[in-house]
Copies of this chain bind each other. A is one copy, B any other.
């Protein structure tokens, strides 16, 4: 009966999602930032928030947006009658500073997930694995296996490495709230490439869980088309 006891504790655990949507969309060759582009007729970012809301209707969603995108987002929410409750927080100069701003509005209890706004295709199973593992072990980072051979480059030379020893890292990266809030009080370090590296900088051990391959980060027009296709497939069959 361990599972049932654990699950009921887990269900009642406070959950926060900090969704970071700081990108200016420069790489997309588009005037519209990528999180606002339409995917299956709805802005990317709305799908992202919906994934977390579907997972837990009580989740505290904190959306971190650059100040100059705030009015666009608010207009889109009205236009699309977007009703998922969330707080808006102003972005910082780097991803670290954006997440840090979000942390200030998060609870000190339960679990905090940090997620890229441009990953609308995170599955409910990935969310479940991440939150469950973080509840049990303190952290959870979703990863997938590289599907190609890997080489390491160094000063013009390259060597083959064993791809079975590597993982590609996705989000949400989920942590116990009190610990990750402390971690984000550290001084900024350029080696902080994601939340896991910030957590490790504060001594938090990282646990990997299986992600879902569809959970791509939309950074190019090709990604946008792929995401559209995946989503269409999810909705039709």
Contact = CB atoms under 8 A, between A and B. Distances in A.
B153 A200 contact: no
A165 B160 CA distance: 12
Contact of A226 (B148, B170, B229): B229
Contacts of A208: 151, 153, 158
A20 to B, nearest CB: 14
B193 A160 contact: yes
B143 A151 contact: yes
Contacts of A226: 226, 229-230
A51 interface: no
Interface in A140-189: 141, 143, 146-154, 158, 160-161, 163, 165-170
B229 A158 contact: no
Which of the four size classes fits the interface of chain A? 35 or more
Interface in A204-232: 206, 208, 213-214, 216-217, 219-220, 222, 225-226, 229-230
Copies held by the complex:
2
A200 B167 CA distance: 25
A98 to B, nearest CB: 16
Nearest to A226: B226
A146 B149 CA distance: 11
Contacts of A45: none
A175 to B, nearest CB: 15
A136 interface: no
Contacts of A67: none
Contact of A166 (B153, B169, B196, B197): B153
